[in-house]
Amino acid sequence: MNLSTLQFSPGAFLAPSVDWLNTNLHPLFAAISYLVETVLSAIEAALLFVPPYALIAIVVVLAFFAVGLRAAILAGLCLGFCLLVGLWTASMQTLALVTVAVMISVLIAFPIGVLCSRHKTLEAVVRPILDVMQTVPPWVYLIPAVMIFSLGRVPAIIATIVYGIPPMLRLTTLAFNQVPKVFIELGSAIGAPPRSILWKIEIPLAKQTLLVGLNQCILLSLAMVVLAGLVGAGGLGAEVTRGLTRMEMGLGLRAGLAIVAVAVLLDRLSRGLLDRDRLPKAR
C-alpha cells in the first residue's frame, strides 16, 4: 500500500451530518438563535438607551462604592475613552456580548464545578476534557459554532460561552476543594441542611477563588468576543477586523485602544472586588 497516495477527509464525512443537523434540528437552532438574539438585543438596548454620559456616571458611582476611588477614576477614564474615539456603540455591543457570555458560562460552569468537587469520579471524567479544551487554540471554537449558526452574533456567543467554561469550572472545583473540612463538619454537627451549608459556609469561604475564576472567565470571554469579530459578531472586534482587512489604520488603532480600555476596565473592576474582599480578612 502506498501511504502517500492515501486520501481521507473526515470533513467530507462530517459535512453531511452537519447538513442533516441543520435541516432536521433547525427549529431547535432557530430557537436558540432567537433566545440569544433577544437577550443580547435587550442588554444592548439597555446599555445604549442610557445616554453615554449618564452611563459613565452610573458606572463610576457603582465602581466607587463597590471597589474604591481608584477603580472609579479608572472606569471613568476607560469608558470616556471609548466615547471619545467614537466607538461607543461598538464598545457597548462588545460589553453586551461579554456580559451575556459570562453569565451563561458561569451558570453552566458553577454547578458542574461544585459537583466535581463533591464527586471525584465526575472530576476524573471532566478533567481530561478541560485539559483538551484549554489546549486547543481559541479559533477552533468558532468553527463548529459557525457551521451550525452561520455567521453573526449567535455563533460568536456560543463559542465564547464554551471557551469561558473551563477556567470557571476548574477554579470552582478548586475553590470548593479548598474549603476546610472542619467548617463543613461543624455545619452538619449543628444540623444545618445541605442548602445552608452550601450558601452560608462553603460559598463565603470559597469566594476568593471563585472571584479569580470569574476574572479569568471575563478576560478569556473578552478575547474570544474580539476574535469573533472575524465571523461577523459586530462590536469592537469587527472594527479591528475592518481596520486590518481594509488597512484603515486609524480605525484599527482606535478600536484596538478601545479594546484595551474595555479589557482594563473589566479586569480592574473584577480584580478590585477580589482585593476589597481580601483586605478586611488580612487585618
Partner 1 sequence: MDSSAFTDVFDEWTDSALEWVSDNGESLFDYIRQVLEGLYDGILWLLQLPPFYLIALVVALIGWRLVNVWFALLSGIALALCFWMGLWPETMSTLALVLTATVIALAIGIPIGIAAGFFTALDRFMEPGLDLIQTLPPYIYLLPAIALLGYGPATALIATVIVAVPPAIRLTSLGIRMTPKEFIELGEALGVTPAKMFFKIRLPFALPSIMAGINQSLMMAFGMVVIAGIVGSGGLGETIYGAIRTLDIATSINGAIAIVVLTMVIDRITQSAARLGTGRKA
| Helices and strands of the chain, counted as H and E runs | 13, 0
* DSSP letter for each residue of 157-193: HHHHHHHHHHHHHHHHHHHHHHS-HHHHHHHHHTT--
Exposure of 71 in the CB half-sphere (CA atoms within 13 A): 21
Please provide the distance, in angstroms rounded to a whole number, between the alpha carbons at the two ends of the chain: 73
What the block records as the C-alpha cell of 178 is 479548598
- For the bound state, the minimum distance from the C-beta of residue 227 to partner 1, rounded and expressed in Å, comes to 5
**Please, which residue, 8 or 49, has the CB nearer to partner 1?**
8
**Please, which residue, 37 or 248, has the CB nearer to partner 1?**
248
**Please, which residue, 164 or 252, has the CB nearer to partner 1?**
252
**Please, which residue, 150 or 177, has the CB nearer to partner 1?**
150
- For the bound state, the minimum distance from the C-beta of residue 32 to partner 1, rounded and expressed in Å, comes to 19
Q: Which residues bind partner 1 (CB under 8 A)?
A: 3-4, 6-12, 14-15, 18-19, 83-86, 132, 135-140, 142-144, 146-147, 150-151, 219, 222-223, 226-227, 229-231, 237, 240-241, 243-245, 247-254, 256, 259-260, 263-264, 267
Q: Measured on CA atoms in the order 273, 274, 276, 281, is the torsion positive or negative?
A: positive
- For the bound state, the minimum distance from the C-beta of residue 195 to partner 1, rounded and expressed in Å, comes to 37
Q: Measured on CA atoms in the order 110, 114, 119, 121, is the torsion positive or negative?
A: positive
**Please, which residue, 5 or 121, has the CB nearer to partner 1?**
5
- For the bound state, the minimum distance from the C-beta of residue 24 to partner 1, rounded and expressed in Å, comes to 16
Spatial CA neighbour of 127 closest among 169, 177, 176, 179: 169
How many CB atoms sit inside 10 A of residue 39's CB?
A: 16
Give CA–CA dist 279/271, Å, rounded.
Answer: 13
- For the bound state, the minimum distance from the C-beta of residue 142 to partner 1, rounded and expressed in Å, comes to 7
Give CA–CA dist 27/29, Å, rounded.
Answer: 6
- For the bound state, the minimum distance from the C-beta of residue 31 to partner 1, rounded and expressed in Å, comes to 22
**Please, which residue, 184 or 222, has the CB nearer to partner 1?**
222
